Amino acid sequence: MSVYLDHNATAKVRPEAIAAMTRTMENVGNPSSIHAAGRAARAVMEQARADVAALIAAPASTVVFTSGGTEANALAMESAIAAGAKRLIVSAIEHDSIRETAAASGVAVEVLPVTPDGVADLAWLDARLARWNAADGKPFVALMLANNETGVIQPVAEASGIVRDADGWLHVDAIQAAGKIAVDSRALGADTLAVSAHKIGGPQGVGALTFGPRATLARRQHGGGQERGRRGGTENLPGISGFGAAAKIAIAGLGGQAALRDAAAERLKAAGAVVIGEASPRLPNTLCVAMPGWTSDLQVMALDLAGVMVSAGSACSSGKVKASPVLSAMGLDDLAGCAIRVSGGWSTTPEDWTRFADVWLQSHARHAARREEVA
């Protein structure tokens, strides 16, 4: 029996999204054309825009479609730099698409630390912005809503108040949170907020960025006047229609799985495993667990051989298994190389979580027996 528990990497495409994409591909029409086919295509796109906007409680007019979450994150950061930001503050647990874009930006970058529970240190942020140098321009702060590895939910609304008091720009990567918990971009106080289709059961290769009244987007991809002049290039209409369909149904399926996850976690803890971020609010679908003395790659391979698919942290590192920088940032260097991420999704069943725990315990018993033989 094959069990897929890597939805934080990518979720299975929902049937509703497949149906929407199929309908779109069966019709002809460029959303920028003014004839009947073009207008029909435009209507499909604007309905999807409204559905994605509803998922994150944003005005549809502020939703800009992109090629994915990575581009959405980059568009926000590059727009802030174009608006005068000369120094960036990036949380220590951000996704590579934020950290690498910041590193390549050509401006100074500072790291917002996190507590041992994986929560952003807002006291540090408050103190740092209180002594901000006006020569560094408008402060830019990137703080994700929920971490993709640990599932720990961040105090974004509180951070927003601190950033706003400093007249700064807060960017929120909500890619892992959307569709799993309620996301209200305006209540969070996000100046920009990124989401991605394939995390909620939509297709890969399409995402979106919403922006608030204090943010001005600077077009980075030039061409025609698509996306109200904010991103050139013919829109990926099939992908966008699938994104909209997934967003619409994801709203109805928020939450769930926390009890199933916790039941599995208790079984692993009884064998000596450590649940990362357990003391903090977490996404209901995400379990980050470490087993001292059993490396991440060996855990992933053992589970995979038994038909259970999980990951060793983020899936956006070219397939490499390496010690998690997120766990290192939490001061858990001793566990960073022996942690795995287990993440359910809309298609996950209670039996999937049970099967995972069964296989993990069996595999760990074999691993422990081999270590005793060597010793």
Distance CA 94, CA 110 (A): 12
Beta bridge partners of residue 311, listed in sequence order: 341
DSSP state of 270: H
Length of the chain: 375
Amino acid at 352: D
Helix 122-130 and helix 156-165, axial crossing angle in degrees, nearest 10? 10
Q: Which residues contact 320 (CB under 8 A, 6 or more apart)?
A: none
Structural tokens at position 248: 């619409």
Decide if 338 is catalytic: no
CA distance 199 to 175: 7
- Please tell me which residue in 157, 316, 361, 368 is annotated as part of the active site: 316
CA atoms within 13 A on the CB side of 113: 9
CA–CA separation, 6 vs 116, rounded Å?
A: 25
Yes or no: say if 221 and 192 are a contact pair by the CB < 8 Å rule.
no
Residue listed under structure tokens 């916790």: 262
* Positions marked catalytic: 316
